[in-house]
Chains A and B, each alone.
Chain A
Amino acid sequence: MKHAKILGPVLGLIVCICIAGVSDSRAEQISLNYRLKWLFNTSVAGDIFAMEKGFFAAAGLDVTVKEGSPEKDAIKELELGYADFGVASADQVIRALDKGADVVVLAQIFQTNPMQWIYRDDQKQINRLSDLKGCRMGITYGGNDETIMKTMLAKAGLTLKDVQVTGVRFDFTPFLKKQVTLWPVYRNSQGVILAGQLAKEGESVRFFNPADFGVDFVANSVVTSGKMAAGHPDLVRQFLSALLDAWGAAMDPANQEQVLAAVKKYDKGTQGEVQKAQLDATRDLVKPHPDTAVGQIRRKAWAQTEAIMLEQGMIKQPVHVTSRLRDLASFQ
């Protein structure tokens, strides 16, 4: 009884100290908002892993990772102060620079653009760009794939009139019904799902990757505002370092089960087998070679992306995007 009388206040004191400790450690953390380009799924495994496995917290950061969508533009949010970091595609960055936005690129997540075209194995194989002539292909008007396809056709001396174009929407029916031969997909998300569906029907597929034909159009990259990069280099370094470490860990096959478990918490609707295949495909895009550093910025590809957009009249004048590329070393 006597012990109980003493134990009560002591336990209370311990609890108070613990709460105060937690509050202090939280207070020391810097709160940041990080806007993704798309919904939570396996293609953002590194971002989810950073959040779930405490990479940000270990760097002293309290990062809120927010899902993206076509309506949510990370670059606009950076400028409006709704986000501190974000993910944007190269064409978004270049368009933003063309319109006077102050944005810098910190890392290039995908070394190979996931935007590719899927086609059935029994169809005419695309070995040369001129093989595209007469193909029935899907294009998302206004999307990246339209720009990429126009560039490839121009390289082959063709125009959209030399192919049969179908506008692409959310459902794969035209491709599944064989009304369209080449269908644009994100290689590591829809590509995996479609390939799986067709495999069940006994059909195998190939992917037409524009990069194999010299069209290297950069995809998703981590961005921040020029103001943040110049004003808070330490914070940028902390964030970027934590994020790239997380991506590196997420792409390590040894961590596969942990990564899939983390992704599953946010993407409950996709089956485990599909997520595993998506993770394999994502790994190939993020780290195509064992010696590829995660997040490395390929300046040549960026320069080519700008050249393509300039050539197609998507920007009015050169924006010199390569002058806006930073990497972790720039903040050391």
Chain B
Amino acid sequence: MLFRRIYQFMIVYAVFLAILLMVKKGLSLSDYVIPGLPLILETAVQMSAGFFTDVMDTLSVAILGQGISIFLAFFVGILGRKSSWAGSMIRVTAYNIQAYPIVALAPIIFILLGDGFLSRLLIAAMICYFPLLLSVLGVMAAPVEDIEHFYIATGRMRWQLEVKIRAFENLSKLTTVIAGSATLAMAGTIVAEFIAANAGIGYSIRIALYQSNLAAILTALFMIGIVISVYQGILETLGEMVKAKWGSENKGKLL
């Protein structure tokens, strides 16, 4: 899973780069518009180490942000799963808040919290949180009637059991969404850094943009792609392990 992720990314990046270079050649563009391969390689050699540190910095914030958003999404999802008035209210509030573009809220966050770690973390968590919440709400609000009916009829149903049944029956969906949200967390952190932070790969991309240095941006994109591929690959592998464990001999015991 992990290696497949990496080489798939390498193929996509190589195709993207090849298209860029073909456009450059076809339109006879200078290195200022689209850098040539020698310039890209030279820049990569010069900047890779620094960019790798920046990407790891960004990833650490993204992981933390994703963790917070997973916790919050499950917390709100479990609270809002009921078809009661309160549950409905929580769902409506969550959907409405989602309508606000985070990029528009970001300047306010930076003014209130400064341009350091907290702002990046909050924006990463917010961008990652809403899609997760929608999935969790969808899963938690949909009864698995075949199974739940038995526990309800025998009077053994508790809320913890209800949550477990619904999570277990939608395990594949939940693990896919959690793995997918890693990209969102990373993108959220990069957006935050690009807008106003003082560290991370988004910040480095902004500087490169100021200097019209597309070679540096391409190097940064490569670094981001590799790191996010590895991270997502790890999450998917973990997801498979969890599914395998819950889906075989232990099935039912966890309930």
Q: When A76-B212, A142-B208, A142-B211 are in contact, do A167 and B198 touch as well, CB less than 8 Å? A: yes
Binding site for A on B (CB under 8 A): 27, 29-33, 35, 39, 107, 110-111, 115, 196, 198, 203, 206-212
Known: A76-B212, A96-B212, A142-B209. 17 other contacts (CB 8 A): A70-B209, A75-B32, A76-B32, A79-B29, A95-B211, A95-B212, A96-B30, A98-B32, A99-B35, A100-B30, A100-B32, A102-B30, A141-B203, A142-B210, A169-B110, A169-B115, A171-B110
* Number of A residues, CB within 8 Å of B: 25
Using Cβ atoms and an 8 Å threshold, which residues of chain B touch A79? 29-30, 32-33
B32 contacts which of A70, A99, A140, A141 (Cβ < 8 Å)? A99
Identity of the chain A residue whose Cβ is nearest the Cβ of B107 in the assembled complex: A170
Identity of the chain A residue whose Cβ is nearest the Cβ of B213 in the assembled complex: A95
Q: Any chain B CB within 8 A of the CB of A173? A: yes
Binding site for B on A (CB under 8 A): 70-71, 73, 75-76, 79-80, 92, 95-96, 98-102, 140-143, 167, 169-171, 173, 314
Using Cβ atoms and an 8 Å threshold, which residues of chain A touch B115? 167, 169
Identity of the chain B residue whose Cβ is nearest the Cβ of A91 in the assembled complex: B211
Using Cβ atoms and an 8 Å threshold, which residues of chain B touch A75? 32, 212
Asked if A142 contacts B30 (CB within 8 A), the reply is no
Asked if B196 contacts A169 (CB within 8 A), the reply is yes
Asked if B211 contacts A101 (CB within 8 A), the reply is no
Asked if A142 contacts B33 (CB within 8 A), the reply is no
Q: How far is the CB of B51 from chain A (nearest CB, A)?
A: 14
Q: When A70-B210, A142-B208, A143-B210 are in contact, do A101 and B30 touch as well, CB less than 8 Å? A: yes
A71 to B211, CA, bound (A): 11
12 of the cross-chain contacts (CB-CB < 8 Å) are A70-B209, A75-B32, A79-B29, A100-B31, A101-B30, A101-B31, A101-B33, A142-B210, A142-B211, A167-B115, A170-B196, A171-B111
Asked if A92 contacts B29 (CB within 8 A), the reply is no
